[in-house]
Amino acid sequence: MINLKNALADNIRRDIEALSNFNQTPGAGITRLVFTDEEIEARKYIKFRMNEIGLVVREDAIGNIFGKLKGSHDKSSPVWTGSHIDTVLNAGQFDGMAGVVAGIEAVRLIKESGCSNKRDIEVVVFTSEEPTRFGKGCLGSRALAGELTLNDIKNLKDDLGQSLEDVLLQRGYNINEFNKVKKELGEVHSFVELHIEQGAVLEDTGSKVGIVTAISAPTDIRVTVNGVQQHAGATPMYMRKDPLTASSEIILELEKMARASKNISTVVTVGMFDAFPGASNVIPGKTSFSIDLRSTDFEEKCKIINSLNQYTGYISSLRNVEITTEIICNEKPEKADTYIIDAIKNSCIEKNIKYNIMHSGAYHDSMFVAHFAPFGMIFVPSKNGISHNMEEWTDYEDIALGTDILSGILLNLSNEIK
Ligand SMILES: [Zn+2]
């Protein structure tokens, strides 16, 4: 007798390994930037697999791929699942791909089970979830949410100066149809994305499934501090206008604010810091640093931004430096749908699978789909919590477990018709 669970894990392994071959950096992890030859080949493979199991395949004007399993109720809105197949530089083979492959396999399971689905079920591959090529992430899901304009498409450029518009045209996409990409509220019934956790909470708690309650949204801030560039030996301490020590105070205060937050998802990171001119015997004249602030609580983020502004005002007069802060983006966190959360939970209980209720610290296409449809996310464990790294690993059996749950949820949602 064939072990069905193993057969599912084998299919997932086959597809993930096949996708791994479409790679711009063989031997140094997987690099597959959107609309490169390798990514186009990966798209072909996914469309081939969708066709093979009998899905109706189409692509929209920004390259989102849809594979549809027809339902019996023509006029009902569809249920969606899916993720992305583009990567960061020198990445692993699971981030995004796990959700696409799981989606295709989940729909195949439904089809082969003989169970009927009322709503259409569509597997979606979102264009460029990663910002790697054009500097902005979630291009496909943003466009679906109506938050990417034709102007953005003209203005977004890659390192070679090619615009997203040029690249789309070269690849045969019909930009004239771009106004048809946007989905209105209610056009999609629901969306469930399976994704690797990219952290170590599941492994730590011995859970096989993570049920996401909310997605933490990023706020990017750029701070510039101007002081006076002076001689490190000849300038007494009381005469200095040192932007670096002023910046240090701001950064430590930010850390205190995030630590003091009652919401565990609130985190702040300064990942880039420049001091000019950058010599050991010169008091810098200027510093510039990034702030990456995330939380599942938008109010909390706004509170921290306010406190930051007050504190920079205080430090500016205390230390005689000029401080400017620029908010580059301030995204809204999104809550997962409680019906979907409960459905995943009940499925885990039924199957005796240990689960963990958690937020997602990383953002995903779900965050933008949330602007027009209720969503849920199923996390599967990441070995040692490593991601965006060639060491990224998730056991195929774990993806199979998540796929089995996903399949049941999609069927449940597709038959949700009053
Ligand atoms: Zn991803």
User: 5 C-alpha vs ligand 1 centroid, how far in Å?
Assistant: 25
| pLDDT attached to residue 417 | 79
Both 313 and 338 in one domain: the answer is: no
Q: What's the pLDDT at 5?
A: 67
Residue 11 and residue 86 share a domain: yes
pTM for this structure?
0.90
> Measured in whole angstroms, how far is the alpha carbon of residue 321 from the centre of its chain?
37
Query: What total of structural domains would you count in the chain?
Result: 2
Q: Are residues 229 and 161 in the same domain?
A: no
Ligand 1 centroid–CA 334 distance in Å is 16
CA of 133 to the centre of ligand 1 (A): 15
How many angstroms does the Cα of residue 129 sit away from the middle of ligand 1?
7
Residues 16 and 147 in one domain: yes
> How far away, in angstroms, is 19 Cα from ligand 1 center?
15
Ligand 1 centroid from CA 295, angstroms: 18
Is residue 165 located within the same domain as residue 269?
Answer: no
The pLDDT value given to residue 3: 65
Whole-Å CA distances, 280 to 168, 223, 240, 283, 363: 48, 22, 16, 8, 39
Q: With a cut of 70, which residues of the chain have pLDDT below it? A: 1-5, 418
Residues 243 and 223 in one domain: yes
Same domain, yes or no: 257 and 270: yes
Assigned token pair, 142: 């943003």
User: Do 359 and 245 share a structural domain?
Assistant: no
Question: Rounded to the nearest whole angstrom, what is the distance from the C-alpha of residue 259 to the centroid of ligand 1?
Answer: 27
CA of 400 to the centre of ligand 1 (A): 18
Asked whether residue 37 falls in the same domain as residue 157, the answer is: yes
pLDDT tens digit string along 183-239? 999 999 999 999 999 999 999 999 999 999 999 999 999 999 999 999 999 999 999
363, 292: one domain: no
Domain end among 330, 355, 377: 330
Kindly give the distance from the C-alpha atom of residue 324 to the centroid of ligand 1, in angstroms, as a whole number: 33
Q: Look at residue 418 in the predicted model and tell me its pLDDT.
A: 58
CATH, residue 242: 3.30.70.360
Q: How far is the CA of 149 from the centre of ligand 1 (A)?
A: 23
| Cβ neighbours for 19, distance < 8 A, ≥ 6 positions apart | 42, 45, 46, 85, 93, 97, 101
Q: Which amino acid is at 89?
A: L
pLDDT tens, residue by residue, 332-364: 999 999 999 999 999 999 999 999 999 999 999
Helix pair 97-113, 4-20: axis angle to 10 deg: 140
CA distance 230 to 286: 11
- The residue out of 289, 306, 330 marking a domain boundary is 330
Pick the closest to residue 82 from 69, 92, 61, 96 (CA basis).
Answer: 96
> Tokens in use for 133?
């090529």
Same domain, 99 and 236: no
Cis amide linkage into residue 78, ω under 30° from 0: no
Domain limit, last residue, from 262, 297, 330: 330
CATH of residue 50: 3.40.630.10
Distance in Å, CA 329 to ligand 1 centroid: 20
281 alpha carbon – ligand 1 mean position (Å): 44
Instruction: Give the domain extent around 145.
Output: 4-215+333-414
Q: State the distance from the centre of ligand 1 to the C-alpha of 96, rounded, in angstroms.
A: 4
Same-domain pairing of 19 and 159: yes
| Phi, then psi, of 256 in degrees rounded to 5 | -60, -45
